[in-house]
Amino acid sequence: MSSLLLLLGLVPGVIAFAAVVGLGVMRTLPAGQIALVAGCLIGLPVMGLYALMGRREGGLGAAILLWSGALLLGLPGYFPGELQEAIGAGFGVIVALGGPDATASAARFGRKLDLPSAAGTAPAPLAERVPEPCVPTATALASDQVALPYEGQGHSMALGVQFGDTDVPMLFDTGATVTTLSHDALRTLGVRIPGDAPEITLHTANGDRTAQLLLMPRVWVGGLPVDGVTVGVCDECADEKVSGLLGLNVSGQFLVTVDTVRKEVVFQAREGRQDRVVDIGPWLKVHATARMWPDERVDVEVVADNAASRTVSEAVVGIHCGADSFQATLKDITPGATATTQTRLPAGSDCGEYRVTLEHAYW
């Protein structure tokens, strides 16, 4: 009998625990704080009730059943319209180790529970409960997909991107080639701008801006990483709601679908190795020397200097001689190193004037 009562109590107990965890997640509280509050709010009252019952047989199950039931009935009065969503978010966190499919299934289970709302209070629309600035929570789909909720519409979609352990609100901008962050955001992240940082010209809504560049080791889009991301420092690209622009050097690594009905941007990782020329270009300086021999042979020496903090696994350099173009490939260029390669062009190639460009590059 005591075992049956314990099993009956565990069902609402687990649901109540998930609700408390989910409420913390929806308010973006630190993980440690969520665990402490959930443990104390569920565990301490249960142990107190169990002690009041004289620790008799079946008392623990009865204590769990009484307290978790009271908690589930009382929470809607303090958090009207949020309980079902909180339970879904809480179950998603609890079973996260089971992978994206288990997380999504748990969240759907929590949302389907028919739980009471506060008397006379209709659930508030989700958009009215999201704090400003918004750093929405990612939803895991398949193992190579994630859905990020966004705020705004049209060309002003704000969503959350993770730099290290910090969620940063960004403007999803399909017209921006390079991702940007403001000085304030970099200070929050603890990132220092080196004195010899390269610079580029950014074309912003307020005109052209010269921006220093940084190489961030990793950026997370939901649970999907992008390594080696070049970021421009741009205060004009930020405002009180967003800390910068999410450029194509990050979003272009994914197949992107914008769902305007659900107000989500779905990112799906592309298969295979991705061209990172936008990220690598500012750090890899290429130049060449062409030698034309009397027998019309043309040899071109291509040189690449890597100023990045990570190895360039492959760089494809275009050699443009008049109307003809050729390619040379350099591999495994370590940080601070110089790589060279010799390329022989077809006899008679007109290289009186020539130029070289970085066509493709890969970390």
**How confident is the model over 288-301, as pLDDT tens digits?**
998 888 888 889 99
Burial class (CB in 10 A: 0-12, 13-18, 19+), 359: middle
Q: Residue 318's pLDDT is what? A: 94
- pTM summary value: 0.59
Query: Is residue 338 within 8 Å of 301, Cβ to Cβ?
Result: no
Q: What is the mean pLDDT of the chain?
A: 81
Q: Counting runs of H as helices and runs of E as strands, what totals does the chain give?
A: 8, 17
Contact 188, 166 (CB under 8 A): yes
Please report which residue ranges of 143-287 form alpha helices under DSSP H: 183-189, 248-251, 277-280
What is the distance between the alpha carbons of residues 27 and 307, in angstroms, rounded to a whole number? 41
pLDDT for residue 94: 67
Q: Is 188 exposed, middle or buried (0-12, 13-18, 19+ CB in 10 A)?
A: middle
The angle at the Cα of 99, spanning 97 to 104, to the nearest 5 degrees, equals 110
Half-sphere exposure of residue 90: CA atoms within 13 angstroms, side-chain side:
23
Q: What is the pLDDT of residue 287?
A: 94
Rounded Cα distance, 177 and 156, in Å: 16
The half-sphere exposure of 97 on its side-chain side, counting CA atoms within 13 A, is 1
C-alpha to C-alpha distance for 246 and 248, rounded to whole angstroms: 7
Please give the pLDDT value at position 223: 85
* Longest CA–CA separation in the chain, Å: 105
For the chain of 363 residues, list the mean pLDDT of each consecutive stretch of 10: 68 84 71 80 84 80 83 76 75 57 45 44 37 49 82 81 91 89 94 90 79 94 93 92 93 92 91 94 94 86 95 95 91 96 88 91 96
What tokens appear for 86 in the block? Answer: 């909180």
pLDDT at 73: 84
237: left (phi over 0), alpha (psi -120 to 50) or beta: alpha
Backbone dihedral region for residue 339 (phi beyond 0: left; psi -120 to 50: alpha; all else: beta)? beta
Strand partners, 9: none
pLDDT of residue 215: 96
